[in-house]
């Protein structure tokens, strides 16, 4: 019996020497370097304009703009809810953005209706039950 146990221990020890050894693969960092270059285009002159007049949605505006190689100029017009028209004329160049804002017309607001309550204030009558009557407290005399 001792021989069997000793043989089993020798077999286990021998098997431990032959166990496969795993080695993790080694990867090298990619040698590709991404080079991003910002794409720039030569300035182009342009000009555009549009206007919208939609009576259903009460939209009424206009926008015009033009540019040469260095300066952008334009204007836009918007009908405001108070009845005025806002007109903005602008210029943008190497020195910055400059805008001139003007208003045409006079603001008109709807008249406030005279205040008339829809109901009259409730009139409260005296309560139908009598006020409670409490007896005077009786204190014992010592």
Q: How many domains does the chain have?
A: 1
Residue 117 pLDDT exceeds 80: no
Asked whether residue 87 is assigned to any structural domain, the reply reads yes
Q: How confident is the model at residue 15 (pLDDT cuts 50, 70, 90)?
A: low
Contacts of 106 (CB under 8 A, 6+ apart): 83, 84
Asked whether residue 140 is assigned to any structural domain, the reply reads no
Average pLDDT score, the chain: 84
- Give tens-digit pLDDT for 28-54: 887 878 788 888 888 789 999 999 998
Asked whether residue 122 is assigned to any structural domain, the reply reads no
With a threshold of 0.75, does the pTM exceed it?
no
Asked whether residue 30 is assigned to any structural domain, the reply reads no
Q: How confident is the model at residue 19 (pLDDT cuts 50, 70, 90)?
A: low
Asked whether residue 126 is assigned to any structural domain, the reply reads no
Asked whether residue 58 is assigned to any structural domain, the reply reads yes
3-state secondary structure at position 14: helix
Residue 18 pLDDT exceeds 70: no
Asked whether residue 116 is assigned to any structural domain, the reply reads no
CA distances from 134 to 22, 104, 131, 137, 138 (A): 98, 76, 10, 9, 12
Full residue range of the structural domain in which residue 84 is found: 49-108
pLDDT value at position 17?
59
- Residue 18 sits at the vertex; the CA angle it makes with 13 and 22, to the nearest 5 degrees, is 125
pLDDT value at position 33?
80
Nearest alpha carbon to residue 76 among 49, 106, 45, 46:
49
Residue 135 pLDDT exceeds 80: yes
Are 72 and 79 a contacting pair, CB within 8 Å?
no
Residue 80 pLDDT exceeds 70: yes
Percent of the chain with pLDDT over 90: 32
Interval 86-108 mean pLDDT: 94
Asked whether residue 93 is assigned to any structural domain, the reply reads yes
């Amino acid at each position: 019996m001792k021989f069997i146990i000793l043989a089993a221990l020798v077999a286990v020890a021998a098997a431990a020497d032959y166990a496969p050894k795993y080695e993790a693969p080694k990867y090298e960092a990619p040698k590709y370097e991404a080079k991003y270059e910002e794409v720039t285009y030569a300035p182009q002159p342009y000009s555009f304009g549009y206007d919208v007049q939609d009576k259903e949605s009460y939209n009424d505006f206009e926008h015009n703009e033009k540019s040469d190689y260095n300066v952008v100029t334009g204007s836009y017009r918007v009908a405001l809810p108070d009845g005025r028209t806002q007109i903005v004329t602008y210029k943008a160049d190497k020195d910055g953005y400059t805008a001139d804002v003007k208003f045409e017309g006079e603001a008109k607001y709807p008249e406030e209706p005279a205040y008339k309550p829809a109901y009259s204030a409730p009139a409260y009558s005296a309560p139908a039950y009598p006020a409670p009557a409490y007896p005077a407290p009786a204190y014992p005399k010592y």
